């Protein structure tokens, strides 16, 4: 489910945009738990969901997710 080599900056971007997990979940149409599990690295999102997240913050997807 998770991938130890994948790091994400979702929490940082969320804080920068002053968004709660619930706000972000509503924006991209998923549950808050999904955002939570992505942030904690327990779940790796699909390309589509990663792109939706990147679009929500108006940044390239590589800024949100990076391989170590």
Partner 1 sequence: MTGENGGFIEITERLDRQRNQSLAWFMWSFLVWSFLQIFVIIGYAITGLQGSPLLPWLFLGGGLVPMALWVFFLLRYLFLGRRIRSNPVIAEALRDEMVRDAWYRAAAAGFWSMLAVEASFTILKVLSTVLIGYFLGAPQLLMFLEIRSPLAIAVGLGVTIGTYLRYRRD
Fill in the DSSP letter of residue 44: P
Quote the strand ranges of the chain, DSSP E: 6-8, 65-67
- In the numeric block, the tokens 């390239």 are attached to 60
Question: By CB under 8 A, is residue 54 in contact with partner 1?
Answer: no
For residue 23 the two structure tokens come to: 């706000």
Which residues lie across from 62 on neighbouring strands? none
> Please, what is the minimum distance in Å from the beta carbon of residue 43 to partner 1?
5
Q: Which stretch binds partner 1 (CB under 8 A): 8-16, 28-36, 57-65?
A: 28-36
Q: Is 6 in the site for partner 1 (CB under 8 A)?
A: no
Contact positions toward partner 1, by CB under 8 A? 1, 22-23, 25-26, 29-34, 36-38, 43, 45-46, 48-49
């Amino acid at each position: 489910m998770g991938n130890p080599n994948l790091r994400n900056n979702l929490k940082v971007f969320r804080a920068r945009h002053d968004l709660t997990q619930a706000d972000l979940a509503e924006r991209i149409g998923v549950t808050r738990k999904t955002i939570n599990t992505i942030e904690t690295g327990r779940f790796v999102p699909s390309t589509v969901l990663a792109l939706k997240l990147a679009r929500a913050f108006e940044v390239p997807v590589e800024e949100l997710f990076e391989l170590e």
